[in-house]
Amino acid sequence: MTDNNNDNWPLWEVFTQPKSGKPHEHAGSVHAADKEMALQNARDTYARRNEGVSIWVVKSKHITASTPEDMGPFFDPANDKPYRHPQFYSVPRAVKKRS
């Protein structure tokens, strides 16, 4: 396998849906020259052992990601706001019973 192909074939991120109704989850990435090849490669690499019912592929370059430097401003403020989690509130007994 020659590695100079990496320059020609772009990288794609693969998302597989384990069951219908469940969200697509990131499975990994593949190299492929076009979208059909990306789908097939994704299937062969991440979904050939019955791992999923649906696959999304998207060119990696189209993904915008937060950076490690964003960690502070993005996520820290939530640390001292426990009331943002549903678990913060005690559930009335009647509601609990029904569920």
Partner 1 sequence: MTTETKELTKQEAFLAYLLRLADDRLILGQRMSEWCGHGPQLEEDLAMANMALDLIGHATALYEYAAEIEDEGHDEDYFAYFRDDREFTNLQLCELPKGDFGFTIARQFLFSAFSYFQYERLKDANDEQFAGMMNKHLKEIKYHLRHSREWVLRLGDGTEESHERIQESFDELWMYIGELFYMDEVDEFMIKEGLGVDSSEFKKEWKKLVEDTLTEATLTVPDWDQFMMSGSRKGIHTEHLGHLLAQMQFLRRSYPDAEWK
By the criterion CB under 8 A, which residues form the site for partner 1? 1-2, 5, 9, 30-34, 36-37, 40-41, 43-45, 48
Closer residue to partner 1 (CB): 58 or 91: 58
Question: C-beta of 36: minimal distance to partner 1 in Å?
Answer: 5
DSSP reduced 3-state for 12: strand
- The DSSP code for 90 is P
Give the residue with the Cβ less far from partner 1, 25 or 36: 36
Cβ distance to partner 1 smaller for residue 24 or 31: 31
Q: Which amino acid is at 66?
A: S
Q: CB 99 → partner 1: shortest distance, Å?
A: 41
Q: What is the DSSP string of 22-72?
A: SPPEEEEEEE-SSHHHHHHHHHHHHSTTS--SEEEEEEGGG-----GGGHH
> Minimum Å distance from CB 88 to partner 1?
46
